[in-house]
Amino acid sequence: MIRSISKMRKSILIKNRIKLKDMKKLLLISSLLILFQCVKGNDDFNNGYNPSEKLVLKDVSYGELPRQKFNAYLPANRNKNTKAIILIHGGGWKSGDKSDFDLFASAFADSAIAAFAINYRYANTNDRVSYVEILKDIDKAISCIIDSSVTFSFNPKQICLLGHSAGAHLALLYTFRDNKKGVVNKVVSLAGPTDLTDPQLLNISGINDLVNTLVGNDLDKREDASPINYAGEIPTYLYHGKADEVVPSQQSVKFFEKISSRNPRNRCAIIEGCGHGFDLAEFIKILNETVAFVKE
């Protein structure tokens, strides 16, 4: 009987040890999941990356929601000194996709810059997604990308934001309003709205409805969501087509007038004969100038 009890005790101890080992394993796995939360869902993440090779990663998660993903375009021969740029797509704050920047992002990678194109939640009054929630997505994406700097091999202290149209508005607004940690040290705007209270902008067909979806009809909120009210000293490049019929070029001109004296590196290019988009020649010019700007 005593032997039987002794055997039972040993059996219980062995089982408890096994459970303890299992718990330690679970805790380790849990810690790893937390550590790599921002890149979960990407099959290649744990395979190890060769920094000597160019690498493209699609649909890397920075959060749990479907739109909280980014694409990474990592240059060959990258290292801890490699500069980075984060691209924010346009689409009136309620459409568009990170894939819109595939060509641009790949070109940056070919120029030895780590490029990240991010998605964010669309503005939607029913789901209560306003500019506040979108900026939180951008902040979360930036934090995730920075936290992955060792894995991706780039310098997390040298971040430039670039956006087109609504994405340019978000890039400017985040840089000057929400960049609390100072991780963004440069910004490039392509045809971005800067003043959401400007009648010249709001009188364009469909724009007022888009702004209402993003901000609402409250004047204070429209001012709060206008980059022109937060102009600072961070180096800024502005590009805008003079013939733009979607976002008037005056939006960039007015913003530049406010920031021009704050930093001698600021630049505003109003392109003759160009509309809301940019043709190949303009695309190459903007790319080359932005590459030099990021690498300064």
The alpha carbon dihedral of 191, 195, 199, 202 has a sign of positive
Are 276 and 247 contacting, i.e. CB atoms less than 8 angstroms apart? Answer: yes
Task: Tell me: do 156 and 262 sit in the same domain.
Answer: yes
Q: Assign 3-state DSSP to the chain and report helix, strand, coil percentages, each to 5.
A: 45, 15, 40
pLDDT for 48: 62
Range of the domain at 115: 52-295
Do both 231 and 91 map to the same domain? yes
- Based on the structure, what is the number of domains in the chain? 2
Q: State whether 58 and 31 are in the same domain.
A: no
pLDDT for position 66: 97
Beta strands in 75-118 (DSSP E): 84-88, 114-118
CA distances from 239 to 188, 193, 219, 284, 289 (A): 8, 11, 27, 13, 11
Would you say residue 44 lies in a domain? no
* pLDDT computed for residue 231 by the predictor: 85
Of the candidates 104, 295, 101, 276, the one whose C-alpha atom is nearest the C-alpha of residue 204 is 276
Q: How do the pLDDT tens digits run along the chain, 296 residues long?
A: 434 334 434 443 334 443 444 444 433 333 333 334 565 444 444 446 889 999 999 999 999 999 999 999 999 999 999 999 999 999 999 999 999 999 999 999 999 999 999 999 999 999 999 999 999 999 999 999 999 999 999 999 989 999 999 999 999 999 999 998 899 999 999 999 999 999 999 999 999 999 999 999 999 999 999 999 998 999 999 999 999 999 999 999 999 999 999 999 999 999 999 999 999 999 999 999 999 999 99
Q: How far apart are the C-alpha atoms of 215 and 220, rounded to whole Å? A: 10
